[in-house]
Amino acid sequence: MIQKIDLKYRPRKWQEEVAKELKRFSVLVVHRRGGKTVLAVMLLITAALRNTRDNGRYAYLAPLFKQAKAVAWDYLKAYSAKVPGSKVNESETFVEFSNGSRIRLFGADNPDAASWNGSGRRRSRRGRRYEIFCVG
């Protein structure tokens, strides 16, 4: 049975259109304070919650890790807190949902970070496979 969860997110008109038209690689040009980060976070949460595979992995990437934390972390925590069974890991900056999916923040200033699996060991030479990788 599918459970409906209201995250109290009401997308703007342009955000609805973008969400419907996203491709594998999409580039958005949106003005400052236009809602880009909230859209990215909501797309990640929605995809993670709909995941049917084991342990889906999703990521938000910013130029610097400090920027990712400053820009997206509060949104990610606030919206995911409304999901029953979600767990926040402050030290590793990820949110895990009851279906095993995780959304994690990364910075491009540490390119090797995305290739670690959270246990301290590398998964493979090329790193982890992420279902969706949003760049902020």
Q: Exposed (0-12), middle (13-18) or buried (19+): which is 101, by Cβ within 10 Å?
A: buried
Q: Which amino acid is residue 41, in one-letter code?
A: V
**CA proximity to 37, closest of 4, 12, 6, 5:** 12
Tens digit of pLDDT per residue, the chain (136 long)? 567 787 788 888 988 988 888 888 888 888 888 889 999 999 999 999 999 888 899 999 999 999 999 999 999 999 999 999 999 999 999 999 999 999 999 998 987 776 644 444 444 445 567 777 777 7
Domain ranges of the chain: 34-135
CATH no. for 34-135? 3.40.50.300
Q: What is the pLDDT of residues 43-68, one digit of tens each?
A: 999 999 999 888 899 999 999 999 99
Question: pTM of the entire structure?
Answer: 0.82
